Structure 1
Amino acid sequence: MNTYYCSDPHAFHGNIMKHCRRLALMTEADRTAFLEIEAAGGDSSTLRVSDESIDNMNRTLAANVNARVGPNDVLWCLGDWAFGRGSDYLANARWFRDQIQCRTVHLMWGNHDEPKIRDLFASTHHQTEIRDRGVKLTLNHYPMVTWNGQHHGSVAEPNIHLYGHVHALYQRRPEANPLKDFDAWPALDVGFDGHDYQVWSLEEILEVLRPRLEAFETLKRSRGQFDPFRGRGRSPETS
């Protein structure tokens, strides 16, 4: 049994294909129309993504999940499972869940998720802490500056935070992250948009975060602080 992580599939959400430039999942006609509007500096809201593109997105994401995540594995989705209006929402969420062969799927509540889909998942959470092969992970839909036990994290004993919501913004534009010490922040956006529409394995997560964990250890030593993201030093007054 292996555990995998993802976030923000946004099944049935046509506009997300424009907002996050999911060009590879669009039909050729939709992609051409979108790029023409973009090149002209126009308003992409005038483009309605076709049902064919939306169906292709849904089926591609589900196929990508199933290619890696087996029926007996565990999948954590960190929010924004599906989109829809009125009675369509539950039907869309259920359809997408039915495409996923993994029997144990956990959901972190995202801003597009509604309580009515709770029964589709093994469990639902706003925030939780788990261990995956000894690695401590704090899971949330939203990125957090600090989390429980973060200051104990190291390369040898990682304590990391996984999130979604921002759709690979910090990967595409690191300057958009407001944290001063972003390179030492042991957290990762595990959304589909930053990983070629694939789920993440723990090995892939640690590969990306190892340099940040190393930088975090260096930051603690250089500042003489055990918790630099809260400015906490080692003196009795600040411990």
Structure 2
Amino acid sequence: MMNDDLKAAVLRRCRRMEIPLVGVASTDRWENPPFLPWMPEEFYPQSIFPEARSVIVIGLPVHLPVLETSPSNYYHELYKTVNTLLDQYTYRLASFLNDEGYPSVFVPRDGYESIEVLQKNPVAFFSHRHAALLAGLGTFGVNNTLLTPEYGPRVRFGSVLTAAVLPADPLFPEDLCTRCMRCVRACPAGALDERDYPEGLTDKAACTDNSARLARRHISPCGICIGVCPVGEDRRHYGRPAASPGERDRRRRVREHVQKYGGL
């Protein structure tokens, strides 16, 4: 039986924690994927937490003006802050569900220890972006990230695996990617191509090697492909769709100033 009251309680807690994006997917959606090829069964929620019947996915935005300074210590610190909040919020949600009598666990936002580990084994044990897709929060873009209507790809996701049977949210009904190819052209590692996901996959080795170079300078991650994406209401909020030449020059000066400090 679906637990509508419990889902409403989860959503209220998310609102109190100021979490703007929340979606729920039933675990059977991994067994009936929306496209092929799909991930192996070992990456399904049930393979990680056999009691899982639902997956709650939360999303926190990456603020566009900070991202526009990337690669920089400014974006590096924002990235760490968002990651920390994701782990804290998903842990708290899992603890709430446990207290309500539903076995639950949080999944860490990355699932790997360092860039060096990722270079040798470039796969995490769970994909939050696929979970966000199945929870109805958005659709994949050419840059292999999940695009949302609110923030485009400028979102980080975290997940809770729970034994509670919660009403699932519908899949997002339309494709958000515009195929503008700005991400492909802007990628400093040349890690993207023009094919749609999943046919066009990120060159993980090239992307990770670029991140490793930035990490040695203490200004990782890169983030350029999500910064140039035109999708997202946040662009309108920050006045980014049609900036004047003077405004573009001010942004350039901000970026140049920030990049001088905090890294090597």
Quickly name the TM-score band, shorter chain normalised: under 0.3
TM-score, normalisation: structure 2? 0.26
TM-score, normalisation: structure 1? 0.28
More strand as a share of residues: 1
